[in-house]
Amino acid sequence: MLCVFFDTTAYLYTERKYGQAVSKFRTVIRPVTSTARTLVRNAHIVPRFYLNKFADASKFVFQYVPGRDPQRRSTRSLSSEEDYFEYMVNGEATANRYENWFQRFETDAAAMYPTIHTGQSLTGEHQIVWSSFIATVFLRSRKVREQFGPALTRMMDAENYESEEQIREMQCDFLRQGIFVDSEDIRAKVRQTLEEMRAPAFGQLAGIEDSAKMITKNIVQKERWFILEAAPGCEFVTSDCPVQTWALNGPKAPITMGSGFGHQNTAIVFPLSPKMLFFAGNGVRWGSKVLSLEDTVKVNTATVQFAHRAVYALNRSAEIQALVDRELNKYTFGENCFIPAKPHAE
């Protein structure tokens, strides 16, 4: 079957053949059942603790979407969806496997947030944990799911696992084990399994651990990490897809967004709070850790352009609303950024 992976040079779909898994009616991912008595149902797509960094003392932020007045919303209900990280294949449920996995990164990242927010350096394991957190914030976003999902479905369909040749191969595999299974029973099971694997959650999560490792490595290997401040009197915004990649094409060339994480000239940009911004890249120098008004506006514009459905900010602002109305989701994954390379067999 298929999984989503990140190449070291571009966002890339890689084909992973799971024919044996399908023929033996086994799920691709063996979920680890949660030890909690009650499973978490309401999943935060953007981590709640992160949204709280942009909230007021009552844990409220302003949500901006095109064509509407800003709404003051509680972070408790913001960017959340029931069972967003859950799916079932061949009768086996994920049972909070990914919810628990994300939570470990969130807990560790929350503990080191004060350190990185004040500009102190991270080293060794802390660098890896922080980079892993950034990687998973990107990978779990709804934008990744919705804007790359159709490509995954097309790749699965192209394999034509219901062909006579594929069915015979599976049937022969069983016969070699001394088991006879009627070809129509195999076809029906394959059809059911493929349908289950078309679930948006499966397409996004089945290969996420490998993808996260690749992105984490790319971030750790960036030459310089910076914690930058917004211009005096200004604030950074964030969004439902807050991790951005910028292609730095030279001091006078315009910045392009959506470059692969592993490119030499790619910078990773991540708003930390209304006042602070994480920036990692190669060959980058900042004259001051306090950004100019022009650069602060540039960061906020990029954040809005990279957003999917909504932008979040500490305060109400007509300027932010106008920017959202004009620029939201200007970059679409797979179309004008993160262009997938042609799939290839492993």
DSSP secondary structure string, 21-78? HHHTT--SS-PPPPSSSS---EEESS-HHHHHTTS-TTSEEEEE-TTS--EEEETTTT
Q: Report whether 86 contacts 193 (CB < 8 A).
A: no
Beta strands in the chain (DSSP E): 2-6, 11-15, 42-44, 60-64, 71-74, 80-82, 88-89, 92-93, 224-229, 238-239, 244-247, 256-257, 266-271, 276-281, 311-313
- Global pTM reads 0.82
Cβ-proximal residues to 139 (8 Å cutoff; 6+ apart), any chain: 204, 208, 211, 212, 215
> Within 10 A of 140 (CB to CB), how many other CB atoms are there?
25
Residue in 251, 202, 239, 252 with CA at minimum distance from that of residue 92: 202
Distances (CA, A) of 76 to 60, 150, 199, 307: 9, 30, 26, 20
pLDDT tens track, the chain, 346 positions: 322 222 222 222 232 323 333 333 222 223 344 444 578 889 999 999 999 999 999 999 999 999 999 999 999 999 999 999 999 887 888 999 999 999 999 999 999 999 999 888 888 899 999 999 999 999 999 999 998 877 666 766 777 778 888 888 888 988 998 988 888 888 888 888 778 777 888 888 888 999 999 999 999 999 899 999 999 999 999 999 999 999 987 766 677 888 889 888 999 999 999 999 999 999 888 878 999 999 999 999 999 999 999 999 999 999 999 999 999 999 999 888 887 665 544 4
